[in-house]
Structure 1
Amino acid sequence: MPSYEQLREILDPATTVLMTVECQQGVVGTESALPELADEARSSGALVNVARLVAAAHLGGVQVLHAVAERRPDGRGANRNARLFRAAERLPVQQLSGTTAVRIAPPIEVAEEDFVVRRLHGLSPIAGTDVDALLRNVGCRTLIVTGVSANVAIPNAVFDAVNLGYTAVVPADAIAGVPADYTPAMVRNTLALVATVTTTEEVLGAWKRPRRAG
């Protein structure tokens, strides 16, 4: 765990981007296609913590990027090469472009200056999307990864960020997966090897504390 001073340096607002992953109504909302995951994201406090981080980022001038997974009504371009994709096609709630299901879920607020990046294929919020180019164009060096799920999209995002040269930061209480005990195991045994693992409070504290002059 880095010291507060080290964390402040890593989380410099000028070079940090906060990314929310699949925090959309059809995934973590009250009418989710994945009710077990939605319940865990809400009952664990992860969704509220994501909202707190987004609000603080807006106040502190930290760029926010919302990564949304969706599909066309005709399914064109969507993957079918894994069991997960085929199961998703049969869910009662579909993440269709332009529907309520792909809107960012409350209590997270989307500001005008936020990026919203939508993908029609794959498992990663970064690979095969505009995310890397956007991060580089805003001078990002540190990417904070939040949202769901710790089972698939979160580790994909962390690995891709590290492979692309970014410092990945994971507030462990602002991500969720199923079952509930899987997330801490994933963080401890996998994400901690490649990312800076922290908490929502520590990130908020790093953004609030004054920086040393010169």
Structure 2
Amino acid sequence: MPSYAELSELLDPRTTVLLTVECQEGVVGSESALPELAEEARSSGVLARIARLVAAAHESGIQVIHAIAERRPDGRGASRNARLFRAAERLPVQQLAGTPAVRVAAPIEVTEQDVVVRRLHGLSPVRGTGVDALLRNLDCRTLVVTGVSANVAVPNAVFDAVNLGHTAVVPADAIAGVPSDYTPAMVRNTLALVATVATTDQVLACFRRQCRTVRR
């Protein structure tokens, strides 16, 4: 784990963006298309930790972006070139644009300053979705990645952030995947090689200090 000084230097509110990945009702909510993943995100406290991080980012003046995966009712533009996409088409809950399934899930709060980015295709919440351009325009140097799933979308976001020249920070207890023992193994053996891995409490401590600094 990084020292407080190292992490605090990375999390300058002027150049830090907090990203939530697929924290939407149809994925982590009570009516999820993926109940096992939703249960893991909620029972483990991951969703609650993400909500705390988002609230602290709001207080600290750190930009928040919510990356949502959705599809048109007619399926136009949706990816079908992987088994995952074809299986999603058969799920009882569809992530259809304009429905409750693609709303950011409680207890995460969305403010007017937040940016919600919706993608209709692919696996990545960052590259090819508009998020990459937003990060450049926001002068982002550090991207804090939270959300689901540790199996696919979260690693995609981290790799893309690094490839785009950003430093990725991953609060390891603010991401979820299935089965439950997969996430720590993936963090330890994959994400730790390319990202700064921390805990939610470590990141919150930095955010809160930045908030006190801003208020002075």
Kept in 1, the 8 Å contact 2:56–2:208? The answer is: no
| 2:71 aligned partner | 71
Distance of 2:12 and 2:57 partners within structure 1 = 11
Kindly report the root-mean-square deviation, in angstroms, between the aligned alpha carbons of the 2 structures: 1.1
Paired residue type of 2:47: L
Aligned-partner SS, 1:14: coil
CA positional deviation for 1:136: 1.0
* Structure 2: stretches of 5+ with no match in the other structure: none
Paired residue type of 1:93: V
TM-score in terms of structure 1 length: 0.97
| 1:120 aligned partner | 120
| 1:171 aligned partner | 171
Paired residue type of 1:130: G
The 5 A counterparts of 1:187-206 are 187-206=187-206
Distance of 1:164 and 1:32 partners within structure 2 = 32
The 5 A counterparts of 1:90-105 are 90-105=90-105
Distance of 2:193 and 2:85 partners within structure 1 = 28
CA positional deviation for 1:2: 1.8
| 2:48 aligned partner | 48
Aligned-partner SS, 2:54: helix
| 1:181 aligned partner | 181
Paired residue type of 1:28: V
Aligned-partner SS, 2:73: coil
How many residue pairs were aligned?
212
Distance of 1:186 and 1:120 partners within structure 2 = 26
Moved over 4 A (4+): none
Asked if 1:136 is matched to 2:156, the reply is no
Deviations 1:64-105 (A, max 9, x none): 000000000000000111100000000000000000000000
Distance of 1:8 and 1:169 partners within structure 2 = 11
Distance of 1:65 and 1:207 partners within structure 2 = 16
Distance of 2:26 and 2:84 partners within structure 1 = 16
Deviations 1:106-138 (A, max 9, x none): 000000010000000000001111101111111
| 2:24 aligned partner | 24
Deviations 1:16-45 (A, max 9, x none): 000000000000000000000000000111
| 2:12 aligned partner | 12
Task: Pick which of 101-110 and 132-141 moved more.
Answer: 132-141
* Structure 1: stretches of 5+ with no match in the other structure: none
Aligned-partner SS, 1:143: strand
CA positional deviation for 1:208: 2.1
Aligned-partner SS, 2:190: helix
Kept in 1, the 8 Å contact 2:27–2:101? The answer is: yes
